[in-house]
Every structure is written in structure tokens, then in C-alpha cells.
Chain A
């Protein structure tokens, strides 16, 4: 087990190296001039007075792939991810600022997906082919087919447009005034945590209110997937002998389901949680754009629209790290929960 862990941890930098090469080579499809243009605001207005060729060779944009890659990776190793023109700050600072917001969104969404999926899946399996199960089947089919941005827009129209509650954005204007004031200390970068640590309960409540709709919007599809997985896995487990034994012992049905059957059917949930994290990171790009929520997803979208490749490279690298680490954690969790799985 420990040997396996060390092996996996040693593989981590290798995977990241290849991933960074893949992403870097994608960006290299752009011509040197296109990559330069990002750094020259109002290029059209200034016109021909810009010494494009000189600048391209000055920053080494026309050098071969491996030279540019090596330069870039060296800078990354020193924590320098470059300057992001679209965010008007260094990429590292931008990520520090936007990433926590996305994590908060993902945690909120994850809570809905896992808690909701397991609860509803159990309910479907225990009411197999009865009304609840059939209704859930229809609902999950709709959930899988409903794009995040459409669901998000509908939520926005209904809750904000018609009911006038749960506005878009990250927080209200008055909360922003407080948060960016000097006296508000940013301990963790996570707004929910920081507002609690600063004792600003009103801000905590305000931020939470802004989180609900985006979290709902992008968990709907994953919630449907999770519900189906839990349902079919639990149905399978309920047929096993040990469940019959538990029932024969005279245990209450709720104990049989919750303590015996459900625990043994949650392995597929662990298996899929790795790919769920990847899907959530992707979904964040769409949902954050819909709700004008300033997180990493929106940062990537804005950067992409502005051909801001330092920002794209930096955030891709961060995403790569998160996913590789998540997959490692999932694999380890797997061995802990299922004694029949051994890692070599």
C-alpha cells in the first residue's frame, strides 16, 4: 500500500509535465503575432508604429517549441505564471482570487449532488417500480437532458425576475463595499469562511444566498446521474444474501437499508466522484458565466474570448493538478472502503 502510494506520488509530476506539454502545444498553434497581440492594447489605434517583428524576437515567440516550453516551465517552477491581460493582474494573483470562489461553488454543488443523489437513489431503490421510482426516472431523464445554462437561465428568470429573490453575482453591492474595505481580513480567501471569521454574519448570509442558484444549476445533471447510480447499485445489493440474513435477524427495515445495504452499495459513488470533479470544473465555466459569478470558470471564459493564453495555461495547469490529485485520493479511498481491492 505504502509502496503503491509512493509510486503514484512519483508519477504525479510526470503526468503534470505531459499535461502541461499538451496544453502548451495547443496554444502554440496560434501564430507568434496572435500571441503577441494580447499584450498590446489598442493595437488597431496605434497601427503600424508597433515594431511587431522586433517584439516577437525580443520575447522569443518565434523560437522552436521546446525552447519556449522550457522557458515557460522554468518560470512556472518559480511560481511565475505570467501576466493576464484580461484580468489585468498576474495570473497567479488572479487564480488566488478566483479559485476559492469556484471551490465554494463546487462544495455547495457537491453537497447537493452527493447528499441529494444518495437520498433520492435510496428512496427510488426501496420503492422500486412504485410511483416515486417512476417519477424519479422521468425527473432524472429531464435532468440529464437539460443543459446547465438553460436551467440556470430559467432559475434566474423565476427566482430573480419573477420572485425577486436570489440575485445573480457573487454578493450584493453593499457586501462588496465591506469585503474590499481595509478592515475586512482575508484569512483564507474563501468568502464564506472569511465572513464568519470576521464575524460578519450578514455577509455570510448574503454570499450564501448568491451561491444557491449557481450550485443548483450545475448540480442538476450530476444529481440525476448520481441518483441513477445509487439506485441501480442499491437494487443489486438488496438481492444479496447478507441483506436477507439481516432481515431474517429481525432488524428493522431502515437499519437493514441504511446500515447494511446502502453502505455496501456506495462503491460506485466513490468511483464516479473523480470524474464528477472534472465535470464540475468544466460546468463551472458555463454556470459562472450565466450567473456573472466571478470564479475561475468565468476567468477562463473571459481569458479564452480575449486569447489571453497565459491565463489559459495557468488555470489549465491548476485544473490538471486538482484532477490528478483527486484521482489519486479516489483510488486510495477505494482500497480503504473495499477490502477486496488491492493496489499493486
Chain B
């Protein structure tokens, strides 16, 4: 096999726009037909909207198909065919693996997959790992809890499919994982940005070991934004002496987006396997122009057991200009997932994305990696507090200078003033999987 080929799939990854759209329309019609025939949930949804699969004759017709939200999946599950209920499209005997969402936004959604679905999941992951330079010569360390959450399971299978030597680093504490990386001379690592930064801290502070001295050359981050937030990417790359790449996906969707080795500051959408639409958060109208932001509505074009058709991902993305030196023709989302529709909110009348705060916190020298943002109300006025951790205890002039710089940068990047609270090193909460650093207490009526 020629390892120099830069594409996992040299045919699909370089299709012309016309060919890609023809393929997407063909596949979209197939998956809608499949769901209409096999899923009681989808058939009822489409019938109530007055839409039949035969009505879809162009990509412009895609918008006629009703969207699906996570909240619509929760009530149809835990019923026969148990536990998946009305959206299951295959015989229960063909389901070979169970996963579930984390449940951070309510009751977890169960996700059935057949072996064919797993082949597809792992192929989507293989596409992104190959694009990031993973080859059979790599020794890949996966430090995650191998359990009911999908996390990096498909990455594990993809790593094996590529032919990498794949090390399952589950059920070990962080120190043991770092020592295992050192012992086995692993060359690549995959985890959330939060955990990768935490590992670097643990290596330095508890093992007195410089993570940059380990043989890790590339890190794939997923699970939360960060690897495409410039200041966070820089911190991780400097800490580990490695290239850091972003990836986006979800349990109900699949591995839909990836940063390639050219690091264009954007995610490619795997358009041969997914149809990505972007709509205005408030009007629901399509967003298509470079520089515009909107909410991602996505279809997994080949996922069969429990189809994902026009799923409201709640991810906020920005349309890119679709030019990347890697040669892929897949569209780009600049900055990756720049926020969640649930999190992007107006504070004092200003639209605020928490990722912008992270970019500031991690670009200011003297501040640690951990922070917390709390929005509440004082009377009728919005109040925003930023809690940040210091790298080392500071006082006097140095502290005042740090505070002034942080306030200035925050004002410049987010157009807001903050109550700033500083905390000693290692005093704010640590997260091993998905960090929840943004808390809008106004939504709870507190």
C-alpha cells in the first residue's frame, strides 16, 4: 500500500461540487425512503408534514423534510422493540452494539448500530485520521473510559482499520496513562482538549516529566471545541510538542467533520457521507455565504439502524470559503464548531459565544487552563462573572496588571465587561470528559 497517498478515499474526497451534490441527493433520497419504509417514527413524522420520499427531486427539496431534535427521540425510546422503540429500522438481532448519549441535556438517547453501521462509523473516522497523517507505522494511545458512551470507540476501530498499533488506555488513572505512553513510545493520542491539557499538567506537576519530551507527534481532539480555538490549540501544541487536530461528531450523527494536516483553521465536512445544511438560528432560513454563522442541520447519508435525517445538532458553525491546500473539495466550517445554540446567548444585549472567552483566557500569560463563566441577573441587569485560575499565586502590581490585561482583551474580543475573580492553582473544577464551564443561571430563573 502507498502510504504517501494523502487521501483515505482519493475518489470521494476530490469529487467536483456537481458530482458531490448528485451523490448527496441520490443518497438523501435513499435514506429518506429507507426511514419511511422501516421506521414508524419517521413515517408518522413525514406523513404529518405531508411529505413523501417521492417528493424529493432536488437538494432544494431537502428542506421540506421535517427536522428531528434530540427531544423528539427521548419519548419514543424505552419501548418495543426494546429499548430503541419506533425509530429502529432493522431487526433487533442485527443490532450488534449499543451506545447512548451523555444525557447532559436530558434523558440519554439510545443509539443502536449494526455491524455495517460500525464499518461506516469507523470508515468516517479512518477518513479523518488518514487526513491528519495517521499511518500503519503509528502507535496510537486512546485514554478514555471504554463504556456506553461512544467517545473514541469508533476512533479505536478506525485506528485498527488503518493498521495502526492501537493501545486501549481505559481504566487507568492519568499518571498511569502518561507512563504507558512513555513505556510504549506511543506516537499519537486522542482525547478531549480539556483532558489533553490536564494530562500535560499531571505530567509536569506529578511526574516531573516534560510532555513535549514524549514521542507523541499528533493529537486528535474531539468532544468539545478547543482544538480550533487558536489559543487553546497553541497551548496544547506547545505543551506536547505535537500537532493538534480537531474533529467533530456526535453519537446520533457520526464523525462528520475533521481538520486535515494542512491545518486550515477550519473543519472539512465529510460530504460524501453527510449532508450538512446551515440555518439562521432565529429565522431558520438557509445560511450559505462565507463568514455567516448558523446552526448545523445534518443528515448521515449511510447510517441505517436508527437513521439521522435532518438532525438539529445545535452546533453553531461558520461557513468557510472552501479552499484548502490539501486538495479536498469538501466544504469548510471556519473555526470548527464555534458554539452551541444552547450556549450562545445575549448578555447585556450582546451576542456571546463562550469559545471567545476561552480564546482570551488561554492567550493571557499567567492564567491557567481552567475557567468558569457564570451569567446571572442583578435586578433586571445581566451580570457576567469570569472565574479564572492562576498558574501561580500572585499579588500586588503583577496581579493588577494581569487583571487589566484580561479585562482589556475580553472587552476587545467579546465587547463585554466582566466581574473577574482569580483563584489559586488547581482550585477550580477539573473535567475528564466534556467540560461544562459556561453556566447561564438566568435560564433557570435563579
Q: Do A and B bind each other?
A: no
